[in-house]
């Protein structure tokens, strides 16, 4: 049954979805000086709350009850909170995006909790994927332990102020998350987190660490050095423009804030910048966006809007596309709310970005379709040659998968031809469970292929592809934190070999590349289908311009007599029988 659409009522909005009621609010729900503006039509799965909205907790609980275990379901939700003070315990399930609508995180103050736990998996958070929290403050009081954010890949916490402690694990394992531009007044306790990436954050103290924890541009990183402690610390973030965010002004007008490009940064960007009108940043009125909805939009309507110079806001849902979404103009913002999911149905890419300056693609999930694609997301084209260092294309919270929710295949998941592209939290996943997760079905050779020069990746997660997980063909590449698992399911060694080499390295820098640098690389194996070996985890040219820092391999589990023989090229110990090996 299809959820009914919003009915707009001056004092409140009553939303009925699959037989249960959800409340939302319009700008007239709270007294504001002067005229007010009606909320945009974001569709039925964007819930906009005001502090005066009745029964907010009940509405939040109903979304969570629906999404707590909904790992491969089709429901998507964005819960948006207008500026003000709330008393809430917001539990965040699958495909749920919680965001404040203030100019600063402190404009939306929640007393209680905004949390993710893993009760549905008995405390094991290794499958707590696809959820996010942004642009709000939390004063934890609802639970006895610190505010819990027990997540793994495909999750993010951005522009968040926690007025207390933050716990990154439940009672079982957690497996990698992303924290950026956030302030934690108390302690961050990593608990059982196997790996974690933090960028431009402040906290009182970081406690804990297991395998691979990378801190980039953080004001107070933990003490200790690799490999005795699993910490990689880089003092400054070389170049970043923080992820754009939606906000509402004093009379209810919506805009998208695109922060300024910054270089050599350390710590958060928003403290002391209440107006967010820092030089170089821009605010784009929602009127300049095409608001896409899956019940009424197609590739044709979306592309027509983009050709006409509109920015693009995807609302939650599944978009089945018979052609790529083509982004032709410089400076275009493509922003997703509530994990909008794009599915190319004719074997094309889902998104193709022209070789132009300053495009943003943010908050998007792409599923490979049943007709194999060459790539799901393409930036530039093979003839790309322009320089974009002063205004790079940015990819924020971009997640691609082959299999899991639907049966699908793609030769690569993301292919970058343009120069100077910056990625900030990418999870590229060939499914190891769910629909179509079999060696001969969800075929996917590579996760990321980089052809452009001077491409930078912050928080890169690539897993289970059939061949190289990541191939770097461009010079000047940089990767800060890399988490990868080799494919679980090669049926026999001969099925996973090339040129007499056992298996494929996870991270491959092409032989012709002369400059490349990476920090904090963790590569793991679980060969459960057969005794399988990979000769090496990382394969790079032996050249002075290739500099690789802090690498680890771990055999997590699998068949006896299986594992990874070397960490990088022919160096580093073999990992067999649940061992680990490190190289500085």
Tokens of 328: 């032709």
d(CA 172, CA 194): 11
**Selection from 413, 356, 364 nearest residue 387 by Cα:** 356
d(CA 26, CA 10): 7
Length of the chain: 584
Three-state SS at 58: helix
Q: Are 39 and 7 in contact (CB under 8 A)?
A: no
Q: Is 223 exposed, middle or buried (0-12, 13-18, 19+ CB in 10 A)?
A: exposed
Contact residues for 495 (Cβ-Cβ < 8 A; gap 6+): 439
For residue 400, what are the CA distances in angstroms to 158, 349, 351, 352, 446?
Answer: 20, 11, 11, 14, 12
Annotation marks residue 205 as catalytic: no
**Bond into 537 cis (ω within 30):** no
d(CA 9, CA 79): 19
Q: Write the DSSP assignment of 311-375 as a string of letters.
A: EEEEPSSEEEESS-EEE-STT-EEEESS--EEEESSSS-SEEE-S-S--EEEEEEEE--SSPEEE
* The one catalytic residue among 33, 485, 517, 542: 485
d(CA 52, CA 54): 6
**Selection from 244, 224, 229, 68 nearest residue 150 by Cα:** 68
For residue 377, what are the CA distances in angstroms to 35, 176, 268, 319?
Answer: 42, 23, 29, 15
Q: Are 247 and 254 in contact (CB under 8 A)?
A: yes
d(CA 575, CA 250): 58
Annotated catalytic sites, by residue? 485
């Amino acid at each position: 049954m299809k959820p009914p659409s919003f009915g707009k009522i001056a004092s409140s909005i009553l939303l009925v979805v699959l037989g249960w009621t959800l409340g939302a609010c319009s700008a007239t729900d709270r007294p504001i000086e002067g005229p007010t503006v009606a909320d945009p039509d974001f569709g039925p799965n964007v819930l906009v709350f005001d502090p005066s909205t009745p029964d907010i907790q009940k509405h939040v609980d109903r979304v969570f009850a629906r999404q707590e275990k909904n790992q491969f379901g089709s429901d998507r939700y964005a819960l948006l909170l207008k500026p003000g003070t709330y008393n809430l315990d917001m539990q965040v399930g699958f495909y749920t995006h919680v965001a404040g609508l203030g100019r600063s995180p402190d404009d939306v103050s929640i007393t209680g909790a905004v949390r993710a736990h893993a009760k549905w998996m008995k405390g094991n958070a290794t499958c707590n994927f696809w959820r996010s929290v942004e642009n709000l403050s939390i004063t934890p009081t609802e639970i006895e332990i610190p505010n819990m954010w027990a997540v793994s890949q495909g999750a993010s916490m951005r522009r968040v102020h926690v007025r207390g402690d933050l716990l990154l694990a439940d009672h079982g394992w957690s497996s990698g998350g992303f924290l950026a531009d956030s302030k934690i007044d108390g302690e961050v306790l990593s608990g059982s987190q196997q790996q974690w990436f933090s960028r431009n954050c402040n906290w009182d103290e970081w406690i804990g660490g297991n395998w691979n924890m990378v801190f980039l541009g953080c004001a107070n990183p933990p003490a200790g050095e690799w490999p005795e402690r699993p910490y990689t610390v880089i003092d400054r973030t070389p170049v970043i423009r923080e992820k754009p965010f939606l906000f509402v002004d004093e009379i209810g007008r919506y805009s998208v804030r695109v922060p300024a490009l910054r270089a050599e940064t350390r710590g958060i960007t928003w403290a002391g910048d209440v107006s967010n009108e820092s030089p170089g940043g821009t605010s784009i009125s929602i009127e300049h966006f095409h608001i896409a909805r899956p019940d009424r939009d197609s590739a044709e309507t979306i592309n027509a809007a983009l050709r006409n110079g509109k920015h693009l806001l995807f609302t939650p849902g599944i978009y089945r596309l018979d052609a790529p979404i083509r982004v032709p103009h410089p400076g275009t913002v493509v922003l997703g709310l509530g994990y909008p999911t794009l599915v190319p149905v004719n074997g094309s890419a889902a998104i193709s970005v022209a070789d132009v300056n300053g495009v943003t693609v943010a908050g998007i999930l792409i599923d490979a379709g049943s007709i194999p694609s060459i790539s799901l997301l393409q930036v530039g084209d093979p003839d790309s040659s322009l320089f974009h260092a002063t205004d790079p294309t940015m990819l924020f919270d971009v997640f691609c998968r082959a299999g899991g929710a639907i049966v699908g295949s793609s030769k690569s998941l993301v292919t970058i031809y343009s120069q100077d592209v910056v990625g900030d939290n990418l999870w590229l996943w060939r499914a190891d469970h769910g629909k179509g997760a079999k060696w001969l079905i969800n075929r996917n050779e590579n996760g990321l292929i980089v052809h452009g020069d001077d491409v930078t990746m912050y928080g890169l997660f690539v897993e289970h592809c059939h061949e190289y997980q990541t191939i770097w063909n461009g010079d000047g590449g940089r990767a800060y934190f890399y988490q990868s698992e080799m494919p679980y399911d090669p049926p026999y060694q001969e099925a996973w070999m090339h040129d007499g080499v056992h298996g494929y390295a996870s991270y491959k820098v092409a032989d012709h590349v002369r400059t490349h640098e990476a920090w904090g690389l963790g590569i793991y194996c679980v060969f459960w289908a057969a005794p399988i070996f990979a000769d090496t985890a990382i394969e790079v040219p032996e050249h002075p311009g290739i500099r690789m820092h802090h690498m680890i391999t771990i055999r997590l589990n699998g068949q006896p007599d299986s594992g990874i023989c070397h960490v990088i090229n022919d160096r580093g110990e073999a990992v067999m029988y649940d061992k680990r090996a490190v190289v500085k």
